[in-house]
Structure 1
Amino acid sequence: MIFAVSLADFITRYPSMHLNYDLIFRSCSEGIFVLDETGRITACNAAASAITGYDDTDLECKPFFTIGDGQDDPIKYRYELDQALKKKSLVVEGWKLKKDQTRYWAETSYSPLFDDFQKHVGFCVLMRDITEKKQHQFQLLQSEERYRLMVEAIRDYSIFMLDPEGHVITWNDGGTFVHGYAESEILNKHFSVFYSASDVIDDKPRKALQTASESGSYREEGWRVKKDGSLFWANVVLTALYNDRNKLIGYSKVTRDLTDRLKSEDVLRQSEARYRSLVEQVGDYGIFMLDIRGRIISWNEGARRIKGYSADDVIGKYFSIFYPEEDILNGKPAWELKVARATGKYEEEGWRLRKDGSRFWANIVITAVYDTEGRLSGFSKVTRDLTERKMNEQALQESSDRYKQLVDELSVTNSELSSVNRELEQFTAIVSHDLKEPVRTVRSFLHLMDRHVDQQNYDNLRLSIGKGILAAQRMHDLIDNLLHYSQISKVGLQRQKLRVEEVIGEAIQNLDDAVAQSGAKIQVESLVPFIYGDRVQLVQLFQNLVANALKFTNGSTPEVTVKSWMENGSVRFVVSDNGIGISPENLEKIFEIFRRLHFANQYPGHGVGLAVCKKVVERHRGRIWAESAQGKGASFHILLPKI
């Protein structure tokens, strides 16, 4: 499957395609994991389950590192997440274990996720099983590595390749030892530089190539010239190389120095300078030198203490012996030398291996070393063991996370308690005022009725009974409204996908009598198609808002407009009217329970409708507010999440 961008990039670049997120998530052939900001798995697709062998229920809320190589490595995992967040993406490869403990080679791509306010909210992780591809690469790598090591490790023979015209195209350490040229000095030069002036004049190099091409090989012993101009007696074998179409593609040339001469003073001086550049007795840092091909040529006391190897154990070996298997298969050691050679230095933190196989978290710095003539002569490598410090940092981070979680939980609890306390204070105020008022009225009329009975004043008795009944009914209505308001927070939300047109239509239909009686004009326009929420509570929300608009008129025919649109990933509703309006100082007060701005004989009601609207909106994780001016109508704005 061609996947040009990560899932996180896709959603960021094409927000209009957000509705297709679920389809992409389910049908993608690559394993997709969604992590929260702490690195715990919050979702995964079917491909992820197929690759790892775990069901989504097995993976839910687990740290992503638990489906790694079985070593539960939070330090490396945290480092990878930090690097992904810092660089905006990170691709790593390595062994992982399926649920049945089968090993597979995985390519894992991390991409950080951000919300609309650019706050980091998690990661999107793509995973592919590339075991078969990696095995093929590893086999090829092993074959090439065996040949390279075999040729490059030979110091007594100069072994190199020539193109068909006789130019040097490969070079080994033996070539440097025998001829005195570094690889960078000799590549692409004609091999005639090894011949004396008289041999060049006699056209001996050309004749040697011609003989080898005609007979297959050319052998001889004779004088050759080193870089410094000195002569040595050489045994030479020049062999013609042909491809599978029998076309000449070049020559191999093997030269052996038979004069048994010592190394030149220049090579000895470079070796001594490299040793002097090291502080061999430093115990807290592993400091050693590599040649240009990455083989260890010196070793200090700090390296022995950190890695556990003696100098005899490691001198002459390729420095990859300190790297985990995954890093070796990924070609990491050679890549680090390449970076150091190109930029002058390579630095990183990661796992390394001691002689006994145990791991330690290391800070490493590889620096390219050049001689006085600007030629690369090798690399210095400094290693520090940061395992203890990292473990302390990890423990501190975990402690900090637990503390933060506790603070968040306490903050939520405190907020909930504060909300409950405010409601209790409101309830107390209501009981002490709104509910006491009809009780006092009923009591007063009962006293009057008692007096009327004594006086046998039956006309006034009937009047007092009627007023007492009205006061009792008002108290009954107040208690019903208060109970209804208190129950909103207790009933669980039945979230479902709703057609907005049907929700608004049901709310208006419930008000048919009030609409007909008032002669109101209700206009519904520009509605979004769908929203997720509780049908009963959302119908009640819009029914209360429309009823409120019908009630607070200024004597003219009520005109109510309901519309909605998408706004930054949320849905915005507006219910507006042409009524009496609301003064600016009362825009917040109107949502308080039993808050009335007018006398009941002017605009009947109990002051509960808008308080219910506010609670319904807040339960749907939304926001409600009013915009108005006295005498100029009002508009109520609701902002709800789309899903």
Structure 2
Amino acid sequence: MPDTTASTAQLVEDARYRLLVEAVTDYAIYMLDPDGRVSSWSSGAQRLKGYAADEILGEHFSRFYTPADREAGLPELALGEAARVGRYESEGWRLHRDGSSFWAHVVIDAIRSADGELLGFAKITRDRTEQHETEQALRRSEQQFRLLVNGVTDYALYMLDAEGHVTSWNSGAERIKGYHPEEIIGRHFDGFYCDEDRQGGVPQASLDTALAEGRYEEERLQMRKDGSRFWANIVIDPVFDDTGKLLGFAKITRDITDKRRAQEELERARDELIQSQKMESLGQLTGGVAHDFNNLLTVILGGLQLLERQLPRDNEKVQGIWRNALEATRRGAQLTQRMLAFARKQRLFPQPIQLPALLQDMSELLVSSLGPTIALETRFPLQLDCVMSDQNQLELAIINLATNARDAMPGGGSITFSARNAQVGPRQSGKLTAGDYVCLAVTDSGQGMDEETLRRAAEPFFTTKATGKGTGLGLSIVHGLAQQQGGALLLRSTPGMGTTAEIWLPAVKPKAESPVPEVATPIEMSADPDEPLGLRVLVVDDDALVLMGTSALLADLGCQVSRAESARTALGLLEQSPFDLLITDFAMPDMDGMQLIQQVRLLQPALTCVLTTGYAGRPDILADSVPRLPKPFDREQLYSLLRRVRGTG
């Protein structure tokens, strides 16, 4: 009697597995004998490959392979590996009955008797043509990223009864989920779901959907036996008997964790690329706008100074209006310099700088600037490399970061300055090239920033402060300074937990004595701005307003002025008349100022040439031998330049 019961149970179990196999229509599941001939054929196999059972039973499975694969002996190699190691898995082109091809994912498992005799093979084939084409397109379009979606090699294949209790369990399910059959059979399948999904009724909803629509498929986090989570592709099909009675559900689970991670990495990389392109575009736009503003401010500043000479000295009201306009113009010039700092177009004088000494020298300024409600702390290691940076710009960056930190703590708080040596390798470079750096961090105890604010924090003119309380250029300047010198600005912040701003700059080993860098001497005001100079000056600028304004200033200073709206016109005038001085703009459409000066030096080597530009200097383009007059310049700066040309300054 026990033997009969065991036999019956085995028959029932075999029947359940047969039903399971027949219910799966997206996979060809069939058996091969030891020689590779088809010995069973499922409905999924018929649908996928096109053969009816009576057409294929007894035929060798190699007919599913392409001629090239058959010639290469791939069918025999597949069976040989499955027999040798117990399993064979691969993807490749296979043939339908009509001769058309499809991309197949193939799994072959060896079936052996209790004494080890090879009885045959179980074979599962899935049509992955559409997925394969998608993967190929992704590889072509995203060359820097390879989405390895073929790492999913096993399937959890099992049955549920009508209420959702597990009734069968295969080896793939054991491998993926971690349960042995005796541990899971009879338990409800909602144990595979996270607590929040169970509380939300997701397991029952998935069965209801499968029953109502004939199929349920989704991607969701699932639980293993050890409590770890993994991303799963889940397919549930209802299983009915011949009378239409619901017997249960066939469930297939596939581990797609690697695929999801690859997608997330791709999305992160796309976000970083978009942000980088956006910042680069903003930098180009800001630099161009600043250049144009500097041209306008040159005209306004010169005009105001010429106007001042015509104003009544005894009218305090008129003089006050004039001084207010002049101060506004100078503030506009400062704003354009900040814009150029973000656009990375200001001239820099890098030198080795010791951060502890720099912060020590700045301590008094920081204390007075930040106020009594802000506590300052410095944390520097005993051994710290120097940074290669422009000292003035670095001081400005530190002040900007400290001011931002103070504004994030309206009720007071603490700001910590710290630094460390860091090495960036080729694989971890990101925004930085590989090499040695010093990371200067400014950390506050303020309110922090949310994700959206943090993402936009370094954009020019973006600010969370009230109107009139800030320009939104502070972090932009730091960003531009760091990038121009081969470094980066990195921000970390959490709402309610403060913000850390890190300036990464190239490191240089400290030296006992560092040479004092050559710094451009600012143009000083002349003691006697009314002495006529009598120089013959040629002014070249494609901006008519700048050309007229500069010429008026020169004429007011007693010069004989000729004007040219282009470099080619200037060359023509130089051939006709002698000049003592050439003042030319840099950015012109037909020939830029530097090219003009090079031509002029061939024609008149002794002629003094001066270059003006709305940018604050372009060391990569402008030769150091050419004097520069940055826009906007005023009457005193121009007068001082003329005195030097005449030899009296």
Q: Which has the higher contact order (CA 8 A, sep 6+)?
A: 2
With the length of structure 1 as denominator, give the TM-score of the two structures.
0.28
TM normalised by structure 2 equals 0.28
Say which one has the larger Rg. Answer: 1
